[in-house]
Structures are given as structure tokens and as C-alpha cells.
Structure 1
Amino acid sequence: MQKTTNKPTLLPRMYCSIFGHDYKITKRVTYHVKEYTCSHCKKQLTTNSNGELVELTPKYKEINAILERVHNSKVERLKEKPVLSSIC
């Protein structure tokens, strides 16, 4: 039985070091926070609190999960709230 690892092979790493990463959005956490993955070497990034791209560590995965839960509950709560018309 062969072990699988998350480390990219030499060819994708070389491609990215020469031509740069090709990041695709893999998850929309909120309107401003997203998670990205390189389509070649599978490197994962996310947006931090300053809007910069940082490596997606377990700490950031946990933060993003909490942010997503809070964001989704807020969106659902706003959908259920009746629209009040202003009386002039």
C-alpha cells in the first residue's frame, strides 16, 4: 500500500517557481475573505485581516470556519427580517 502525501512533486513546484502560481478561489468565506489554491502545486492561501494573502494554516482554517458561520447566520437573519417601508 502506498502512502499519499500533500507535498507537490518536483515538476509542479518547478513550474510555479518559474512561471508563478495559478491561484483559483476554492472557498468564499465572506464577501471579503476567500481561500485560494494553486492549480499546479496545490499551495493554499487565504486573506488575512489586513487583506493580504497568507498561507492557509490550521489557525487560519479555524478562523475562516468561525467567520463563515457568523457570516452565514447574519445573512440568514437579514433575509428573514421583514423590510419596513418608510412612512413620510
Structure 2
Amino acid sequence: MKPTRSKTLPCAVFGHNYVKTKTNPDHTLELVCSHCNATVITDTNGNFEELNVPDRHIQTTLRQLFHLKLQTSKPKFS
């Protein structure tokens, strides 16, 4: 059995207490545990997928690139 820290002990005993943090445009939810800050997302079928730290960094970078692309692709009238 893995040792648990006191911060994650309630999650190990009772399970995670997820709180909805945001709703994505594709109708998926991002949930965060109020005790241990574990992040999961739901897919379109409602299944939980764990979101780890590198995925979160990739997601924020892709979102920033998308917004930059939208800003530069707008036609400018002179």
C-alpha cells in the first residue's frame, strides 16, 4: 500500500470531492478536487479522464496559440 500524505488522506478514505471549475466549448467539464487539487475532465460520454500537469501546460499553450491566430487573421481595413 502506498503511503498517503495528510493532505490526501480524506481522498484516500472517502474519495475525491470534485468541484466544477469550468465548462469547455465542447461540453466537457473540468473538475478539481477540493482537498488534493487533482484535476480531471469529462469526455463527451461523461467518463472521467485524469488531466496531469504536462497536459495542462500543453492545453494552455495551444489555447494561447489559437487566440493569437484569431487576432492575426482578422482583416484590417485601412
What is the TM-score with the length of structure 2 in the denominator? 0.57
C-alpha separation between the residues in 1 aligned to 2:39 and 2:21? 9
> How far apart in 1 are the matches of 2:45 and 2:26?
14
Show the counterpart of 1:50. 45
More contact order relative to length (CA 8 Å, sep ≥ 6): 1
Paired letter, 1:23: Y
Q: Tell which structure's C-alpha radius of gyration is larger.
A: 1
Map of 1:40 onto structure 2: 35
In structure 1, runs of 5+ residues without a counterpart are 1-8, 70-88
Q: 1:10 aligns with which of 5, 10, 27?
A: 5
Tell me, in whole angstroms, the C-alpha distance in 2 between the residues paired with 1:21 and 1:12: 12
> TM-score scaled to structure 1, two decimals?
0.51
Alignment identity in percent?
34
**1:31 Cα shift?**
6.5
Distance 2:15 2:7 in 1: 10
1:41 counterpart SS class: coil
**Is residue 2:20 matched to residue 1:25?**
yes
Which sections of structure 2, spanning at least 5 residues, go unmatched? 67-78
Deviation per CA, 1:12-67: give whole Å up to 9, x if none: 211100011100001111363110000000000001243211101317x63xx76x
